[in-house]
């Protein structure tokens, strides 16, 4: 009996050891499968601006986020374009003037370059699609729409061809729930849908400042849909924001780490994307974005 027990223990320990070796091998293989950054990301990393200590009122002052490494991104399930799903859509809701319609078209052009995926604008919907139960009057007399209603009752009904991401853009202010004054936007990343309002972006802003805010917020929210978490490493368009002032101070550029994450999911030519962004910023007289792209191009021009 003792011999049988001894044999069983030897077999059991041997199996456990074999399992442990297999598990360690799998972990080692997973680590080996994540290659070092391509030269492009190493070259432009010198242009990343490290975040300073958050001040009172900043996003990171009140949100103690852990960030997301490249390894965590790769090992976490996230959206990857396929033949069946590879088009980004914008859905305007409201009565827009000619200036606002031009900004929406410019956002479409920008997102197509930023994500290197075809981007389309769907037919404009009337404000009448929002029922009274999803409307209210805000603190300064402005009409507001319930953001969640737009996600669950409007966007979920939209199923355009090959949709990978869908963002509504409203000209009315938004609120997320009765006890909140307002919200810039709201998203359901699992459903790959979001809504953003132009209302507060236009306040005390000229055409270009409003456009720049739209570009930041739309690329930020859709970036989340592709699996990017808030960036806590550098000044980046994926930084969290508590206010329009903070949004204005956040960079329109993706830092090198966030660019690497995005490019691992959406395979595109980084140099081509950078040159197209430079051209876009130049044509639309967005000087801050242009300067950032030119600094990155300077780092890779002889590569």
Regarding beta strands 135-137 and 143-146, do their DSSP bridges make them parallel or antiparallel, or are they unpaired? antiparallel
CA-to-CA separations, 220 to 129, 152, 208, 228, in angstroms, rounded: 26, 21, 18, 9
Question: CA–CA separation, 177 vs 167, rounded Å?
Answer: 20
Question: CA–CA separation, 197 vs 261, rounded Å?
Answer: 27
Rg (alpha carbons) of the chain, rounded to whole number = 23
Exactly one of 85, 143, 179, 221 is catalytic; which is it? 221
Clarify whether 118 is annotated catalytic: no
Question: CA–CA separation, 117 vs 85, rounded Å?
Answer: 10
Q: What residues have CB less than 8 Å from 195, skipping those under 6 apart? A: 93, 147, 150, 151, 155, 167, 168, 169, 170, 174, 185, 186, 187
Whether 255 and 48 have beta carbons less than 8 Å apart is answered as: yes
Active site residues per annotation: 221
């Amino acid at each position: 009996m003792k011999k049988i027990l001894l044999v069983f223990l030897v077999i059991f320990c041997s199996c456990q050891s074999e399992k442990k070796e297999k598990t360690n091998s799998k972990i080692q293989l997973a680590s080996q499968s994540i290659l070092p950054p391509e030269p492009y990301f190493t070259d432009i990393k010198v242009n990343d601006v490290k975040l300073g200590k958050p001040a009172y009122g900043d996003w990171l002052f009140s949100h103690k986020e852990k960030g997301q490494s490249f390894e965590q991104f790769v090992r976490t399930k996230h959206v990857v374009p396929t033949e069946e799903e590879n088009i980004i859509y914008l859905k305007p809701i409201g009565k827009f003037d000619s200036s606002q319609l031009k900004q929406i078209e410019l956002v479409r052009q920008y997102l197509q370059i930023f994500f290197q995926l075809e981007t389309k604008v769907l037919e404009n919907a009337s404000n009448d699609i929002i029922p009274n139960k999803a409307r209210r009057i805000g603190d300064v007399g402005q009409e507001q729409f319930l953001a969640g209603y737009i996600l669950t009752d409007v966007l979920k009904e939209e199923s355009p061809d090959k949709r990978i991401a869908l963002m509504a853009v409203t000209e009315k202010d938004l609120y997320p729930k009765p006890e909140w004054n307002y919200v810039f936007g709201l998203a359901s990343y699992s459903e790959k849908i979001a809504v953003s309002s132009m209302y507060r972006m236009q306040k005390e802003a000229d055409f270009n400042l409003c456009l720049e805010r739209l570009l930041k917020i739309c690329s930020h929210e859709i970036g989340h849909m592709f699996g990017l978490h808030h960036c806590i490493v550098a000044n980046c368009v994926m930084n969290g924001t508590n206010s329009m002032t903070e949004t204005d101070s956040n960079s329109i550029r993706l830092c090198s780490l966030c660019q690497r994450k995005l490019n691992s999911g959406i395979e595109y030519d980084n140099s081509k994307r950078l040159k197209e962004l430079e051209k876009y910023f130049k044509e639309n007289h967005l000087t801050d974005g242009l300067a950032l792209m030119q600094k990155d191009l300077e780092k890779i021009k002889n590569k």
